[in-house]
């Protein structure tokens, strides 16, 4: 087998070419034969607030081109004064959307029945605002678990005994647990469950395990005082209280360094390792949400962790993050003078978190060995529940090489963008895959999506630094970098890290200009609110005048069987992604099926407004589904998609998150968030489903009077009975309505008129 880029021979099972670093293509699963399925829903209306509805009435296809819609700037969420673990996610999938493999199901659902009358035809636009909801904090839920599902009601009660430090200790493991809302509250207990796993471990006698627990208003483990900070040790399966620090903090200056110094002084050893446990997000979010602090959202930034390690004066063989999104180039640069290995996740860390029991038995061994075991156990543990994630081991002695290669790579980008390449880079950056709610991307995915003279060097340096990695994400290769693009409102905070880390001017100057251009495209109010003294007016004005999709292209063209959107080659060059919204008629009302990042083109390359070929089903019934992120690897053609299904769980509003990829073509449930359908407020925590949770599907409906409301299917089922599929669907017997939303790289959003959809057979 040979590399298709440079021709070098590849080793069997290789993921990357050793010569040029190009990812090795993998076979893509083909769709299954189509089985025609009829949608089945039985909505029971419950009146909701009635948002403004944009109605585009159309009784029958018109012989003339439809009016042109107004070009709108894609809205962005105003950030909070301090960046929190809940930044907004803007999905950035590739334009060349590949259809998801279809798994046929045998079902013959019946059409929804309604008593309403009328012929009003429209598509609800207001409800789709929830697609851009903040979801990073949702996926920031971490915690540990055994392979068996754990109950929230479990308590840990251990007798307090005097601790004894190991004589001639080989290693002292320091575990810094900022409990936060991951521990407190009715759905918390994540830290206590992890401690329970630690107590089950066969920890070698010549090793010390020291914990500092705080940052939470209440603890499930009743041996840990609520609202205080306490130091414990683990010996012989017992949790031993060493010292009470009282009502103090864990995320302020000196907190972490004092714990490290205390642990070294009282539990000396040949080697030291450190675990940081809580919420995370890399730049510009940081680590640690302390509920006992005057400002719980005052996280510890990456460079502040570096400063704490400087104060402590302790070198570690491994620094381990049981927290989301901390496996970054920036964090590696902060740790390189204090540690040999960094262990962490590019992606969110699932509620189950690191599984502690087995690898703690390896503490007296090699740090690389137990670091790899951490990754293996975590990935196996979440996989047992159908969850997806990633985790890596990084060799920090290679991190400077990665940084040097990144400087040269960014220099290439800067030159190209300065010479009219803004759209090409923005489009590539948007197709690097999205780790929910952060503005960092995988280094290898970035260098693959946007190739330059120095891209292969960056890829090779990253491959060398990633000692071991496992990832369920096609765009996850082990190490990511802060690459401002989605959450530019927070750049002023993120830029502080560039300054504190003494970043090369090549990097800082480029992002100053690039973010200036993005803010300018968003409007003067954004420039005034978020543009610092780094804002570059001349470059921003130049990009702002570069254009976008021609508004003349968005009008509907009539064919014999359907309407179409004719786009030019220059339009496609600046299109970021396309979404189709679909509704089905029932007794004069329209049941909204949701929005998917998919489209079909006809023989002339036009966007065809036709019925979708497949949709998401739950237990054989069509479900409402909203995509929030799509990715397709340009080399391997691997793909992934994340979205949610509106529902009620135990009678309360919820969004059930679903992940699709080559390995999960039918989809796999990742958990649910709470959701208020009246206020459209979404919770910030991703909960695991329990087998006895009662689920009922929810749909939005556009009434014959032009009002909107939501309704349940009124056929509840248990979570243990949930069967998910992505299946072929035949809507030919129904009247369907839909429209395309087109997003360009300049932040503009274009919508076609809502119109009748033609048959998919017509194209």
- For the chain, the structural domain boundaries read 1-30, 44-128+548-762, 156-401
Q: What is the pLDDT of residue 460?
A: 98
Distances (CA, A) of 753 to 53, 58, 576, 581, 739: 13, 9, 20, 11, 6
pLDDT band, residue 635 (cuts 50/70/90): confident
Mean pLDDT of 255-273: 98
pLDDT at residue 545, rounded to an integer: 59
Q: Are 475 and 438 in contact (CB under 8 A)?
A: no
Q: Provide φ and ψ at 311, rounded to 5°.
A: -65, -40
What pLDDT score does 118 carry? 34
pTM to 2 decimal places:
0.77
pLDDT over 50 (residue 96): no
Residue with the larger pLDDT of the pair 100 and 467 = 467
- Which of residues 734 and 82 earns the better pLDDT score? 734
Nearest to 175 by CA among 408, 411, 356, 425: 356
Contact 391, 424 (CB under 8 A): no
DSSP tag of 371 = H
List pLDDT tens digits, range 303-358.
999 999 999 999 999 999 999 999 999 999 999 999 999 999 999 998 889 999 99
- pLDDT grade, residue 540 (50/70/90)? confident
* Mean pLDDT for the stretch of residues 203-208: 97
Q: Is the pLDDT of residue 79 over 90?
A: no
- 25 CB contacts (<8 Å, ≥6 apart)? 4, 635, 636, 637
Q: Are 259 and 214 in contact, with CB atoms under 8 Å apart?
A: no
User: What average pLDDT does this structure show over 166-173?
Assistant: 94
**Pairing of the two strands 639-649 and 625-632:** antiparallel
pLDDT at 603: 92
More confident residue, 60 or 731: 731
pLDDT on residue 523 = 86
Question: CB–CB of 143/178 below 8 Å?
Answer: no
> What mean pLDDT is reported for the chain?
81
The answer to whether the CB of 2 falls within 8 A of the CB of 16 is no
Please say whether the beta carbons of 741 and 725 come within 8 A: no
Strand partners, 232: 211, 241
What is the tens place of the pLDDT at every residue in 472-517? 999 999 999 999 998 999 999 999 999 999 999 999 999 999 999 9
What is the tens place of the pLDDT at every residue in 552-582? 557 899 999 999 999 988 889 889 899 999 9
Residue 272 phi, psi dihedral angles, 5° rounding:
-135, 140
Q: What is the pLDDT of residues 667-694, one digit of tens each?
A: 999 999 999 999 999 987 788 888 999 9
Given 3.40.50.10420, 3.30.420.40, 3.40.1160.10, 3.40.50.11970, which CATH number is that of 156-401? 3.40.50.11970
pLDDT single digits (tens) 688-723? 888 999 999 999 998 888 788 999 999 999 999 999
């Amino acid at each position: 087998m040979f590399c298709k880029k440079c021709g070098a021979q590849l080793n069997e099972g290789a993921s990357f070419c050793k010569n040029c670093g190009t990812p090795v293509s993998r076979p893509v699963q083909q769709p299954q034969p189509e089985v025609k399925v009829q949608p089945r829903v039985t909505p029971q209306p419950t009146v909701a607030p009635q948002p403004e509805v944009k109605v585009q009435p159309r009784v029958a296809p018109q012989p003339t081109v439809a009016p042109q819609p107004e070009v709108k700037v894609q809205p962005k969420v105003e950030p909070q004064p301090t960046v929190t673990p809940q930044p907004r996610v803007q999905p950035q999938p590739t334009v060349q959307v590949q259809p998801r493999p279809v798994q046929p199901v045998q079902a013959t659902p019946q059409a929804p029945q309604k008593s309403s009358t009328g012929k009003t035809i429209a598509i609800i636009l207001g409800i789709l605002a929830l697609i851009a909801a903040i979801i990073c904090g949702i996926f920031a839920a971490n915690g540990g678990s055994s392979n068996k599902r754990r109950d929230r009601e479990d308590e840990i009660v251990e007798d307090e005994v005097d601790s004894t430090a190991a004589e001639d200790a080989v290693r002292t493991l320091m575990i810094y647990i900022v409990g936060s809302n991951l521990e407190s509250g009715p759905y918390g207990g994540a830290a206590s469950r992890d401690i329970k796993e630690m107590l089950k471990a066969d920890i070698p006698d010549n090793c010390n395990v020291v914990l500092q627990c705080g940052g939470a208003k209440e603890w499930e483990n009743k041996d840990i005082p609520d609202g205080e900070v306490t130091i414990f040790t683990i010996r012989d399966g017992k949790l031993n209280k060493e010292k009470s620090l009282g009502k103090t903090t864990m995320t302020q200056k000196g907190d972490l360094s004092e714990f490290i110094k205390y642990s070294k002084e009282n539990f000396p050893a040949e080697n030291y390792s450190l675990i940081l446990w809580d919420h995370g997000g890399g730049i510009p979010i940081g680590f640690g949400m302390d509920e006992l602090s005057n400002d719980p959202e005052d996280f510890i930034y990456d460079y502040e962790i570096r400063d704490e390690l400087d104060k402590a004066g302790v070198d570690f063989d491994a620094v381990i993050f049981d927290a989301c999104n901390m496996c970054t180039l920036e964090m590696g640069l902060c740790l390189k003078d204090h540690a040999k290995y960094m262990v962490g996740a590019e992606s969110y860390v699932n509620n189950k978190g690191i599984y502690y029991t087995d690898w703690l038995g390896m503490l007296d061994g090699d740090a690389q060995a137990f670091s790899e075991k951490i990754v293996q156990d975590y990935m196996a543990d979440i996989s047992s529940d159908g969850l997806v994630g990633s985790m890596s081991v990084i060799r920090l002695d290679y991190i400077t090489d990665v940084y040097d290669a990144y400087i040269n790579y960014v220099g290439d980008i800067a030159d190209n963008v300065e010479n009219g390449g803004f759209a090409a880079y923005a489009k590539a950056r948007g197709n690097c895959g999205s780790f929910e709610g952060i503005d960092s991307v995988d280094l290898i995915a970035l260098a693959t999506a946007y190739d330059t003279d120095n891209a292969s060097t960056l890829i090779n340096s990253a491959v060398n630094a990633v000692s071991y990695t496992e990832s369920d994400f096609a765009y996850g290769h082990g190490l990511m970098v802060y690459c401002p693009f989605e959450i530019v409102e927070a750049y002023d905070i993120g830029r502080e890290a560039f300054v504190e880390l003494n970043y090369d001017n090549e990097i800082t100057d480029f992002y100053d200009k690039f973010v200036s251009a993005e803010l300018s495209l968003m409007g003067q109010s954004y420039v005034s609110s978020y543009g610092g003294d780094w804002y570059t007016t001349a470059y921003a004005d130049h990009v702002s005048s570069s254009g976008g999709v021609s508004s003349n292209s968005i009008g509907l063209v009539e064919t014999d069987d359907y309407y179409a959107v004719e786009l030019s080659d220059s339009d496609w060059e600046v299109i970021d992604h396309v979404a189709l919204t679909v509704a089905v008629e029932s007794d004069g009302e329209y049941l909204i099926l949701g929005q998917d990042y998919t489209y079909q083109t006809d023989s002339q390359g036009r966007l065809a407004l036709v019925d979708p070929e497949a949709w998401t089903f739950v237990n054989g019934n069509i479900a409402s589904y909203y995509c929030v992120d799509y990715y397709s690897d340009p080399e391997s053609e691997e793909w992934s998609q994340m979205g949610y299904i509106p529902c009620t769980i135990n009678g309360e509003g919820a969004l059930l998150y679903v992940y699709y990829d080559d390995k999960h073509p039918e989809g796999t449930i990742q958990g649910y968030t709470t959701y208020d359908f009246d206020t459209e407020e979404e919770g910030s925590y991703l909960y695991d489903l329990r087998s006895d949770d009662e689920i009922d599907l929810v749909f939005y409906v556009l009434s014959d009077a032009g009002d909107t409301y939501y309704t349940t299917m009124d056929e509840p089922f248990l979570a243990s009975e949930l069967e998910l599929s992505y299946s072929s669907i035949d809507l030919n017997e129904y009247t369907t309505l839909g429209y395309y939303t087109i997003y360009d790289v300049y932040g503009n959003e274009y919508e076609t008129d809502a119109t009748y959809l033609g048959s998919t057979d017509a194209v």
